[in-house]
Amino acid sequence: MKNFIQNLPKAELHLHIEGTLEPELMFKLAKKNSIKIPYQNVDDVRKAYEFDSLQPFLDIYYAGASVLITQEDFYDLTWAYLLKCKDQNILHVEIFFDPQTHTSRGVAFGDVVEGISEALNDGHEKLGISSFLIMSFLRHLSEDEAIKTLKESLPYKYFIKGVGLDSSELGNPPSKFQKVFRMAKNAGYKCVAHAGEEGDASYIKEAIELLGVDRIDHGVRCEEDRELMKRLKDEQIPLTMCPLSNLKLKVVGDLKNYNLKKLLEYGLCVTVNSDDPAYFGGYLNENYEAMAKSLNLSKEDMKTISKNSFKASFLDDEDIKKIIYEI
Ligand code: ADE
Ligand code: ZN
């Protein structure tokens, strides 16, 4: 099965570029940029990666991102992830970045976008990996701040495919961001949102009904609402699920009880993704392997999941058809 997964062409649709910051690069950049981090060494960092919910993880994740300062830092971070993609036979990636995490520290929006985009461009030319960039708004901040970020992005629209919504879910429902998503849609951006990771099914419903999202990031808790399940199925609204993330952040206690197989069998367009692989102990293939093992999934199931990853992507229909045929 491991070889089968390795050889399967895959797309990754739920990946925070800041969540690919491995401790080795964190230390290297901290030293170069003279940023203090609260760890003595790489082992120390890894030991700190024990979380009992989303918020303690986010606190550490934002602190880690503080070592990213220059355009070159964002290039190096992205390039390291693309090399991993090449290793894992990932042909297409749709990458989140959190501009507010960086602009709030005085890093220029353009440095972030141009650093990431240059690496993505090289990834296409040198590694044959296609990609899109998705700008995420931090939902613990206000909608006005999200609107400011949206306006800042417009000169760089050429580099950005869509907008997303991430960070602390509980208490920050999609309804808080209706205006900025409407503006983003009018500007021609695709829309996605994290929903139903820690928040209940109403967060997913709101993301669909009030934000008009093209897909749901996570969506684990959709099962709580039968009508919502039917809509997800009828309209084939994709879920970008992240098993190792959900295990690490205690969204699920044991992957043997994870609902991915059930959702797949019900007919939802379920995909598997890695979220923040440097923090959760596995990149994309490790997530596929965890699902195969814990849920006893077959090679056919793995093929369905990889086909779904392209079907749910923002690639052109013709490109999607071609790769699905190849799979
Ligand atoms: N930002 C990075 N990873 C996240 C996650 N799993 N949920 C919400 N926001 C995030
Ligand atoms: Zn995420």
Nearest-CA neighbor of 108 among 158, 163, 153, 60? 153
Ligand 1 atom at shortest distance from the alpha carbon of 242 = 6
In this structure, the dihedral spanned by the alpha carbons of residues 179, 222, 134 and 149, taken in order and rounded to 10 degrees, is: 30
Residues annotated as part of the active site: 197
Residue nearest to atom 8 of ligand 1 (CA): 167
Residue nearest to atom 1 of ligand 1 (CA): 167
pLDDT number for residue 4: 98
238 confidence band (pLDDT: 50, 70, 90): very high
Nearest ligand by distance to the CA of 196: 1
Strand order in the sheet with 270-272: 10-16, 90-97, 130-138, 162-166, 190-195, 215-218, 239-241, 270-272
Residue 277 CA, ligand 1 centroid: distance in Å: 11
pTM: 0.98
**Who has greater pLDDT, 42 or 123?**
123
Nearest ligand by distance to the CA of 199: 1
C-beta of residue 30 within 8 angstroms of C-beta of residue 65: no
| Residues with C-beta less than 6 Å from any ligand 1 atom | 16, 19, 54, 61, 166-167, 194, 197, 245, 275-276
Fold of 2-326: TIM Barrel (3.20.20)
Query: How many Å apart are CA 268 and CA 298, to the nearest integer?
Result: 17
Residue 217 CA, ligand 1 centroid: distance in Å: 9
Residues 98-142: pLDDT tens digits?
Answer: 999 999 999 999 999 999 999 999 999 999 999 999 999 999 999
Residues 150-188: pLDDT tens digits?
Answer: 999 999 999 999 999 999 999 999 999 999 999 999 999
pLDDT number for residue 319: 96
Residue nearest to atom 6 of ligand 1 (CA): 275
If you average pLDDT over every residue of the chain, what do you get? 97
Alpha helices in the chain (DSSP H): 2-7, 23-33, 42-47, 54-65, 71-87, 99-103, 109-127, 143-153, 178-186, 201-209, 226-234, 243-248, 260-266, 277-280, 284-295, 299-311, 317-326
Read off the pLDDT of each residue in 277-301 and give the average, rounded to a whole number: 98
> One-letter amino acid identity for 202?
S
Residue 93 CA, ligand 1 centroid: distance in Å: 17
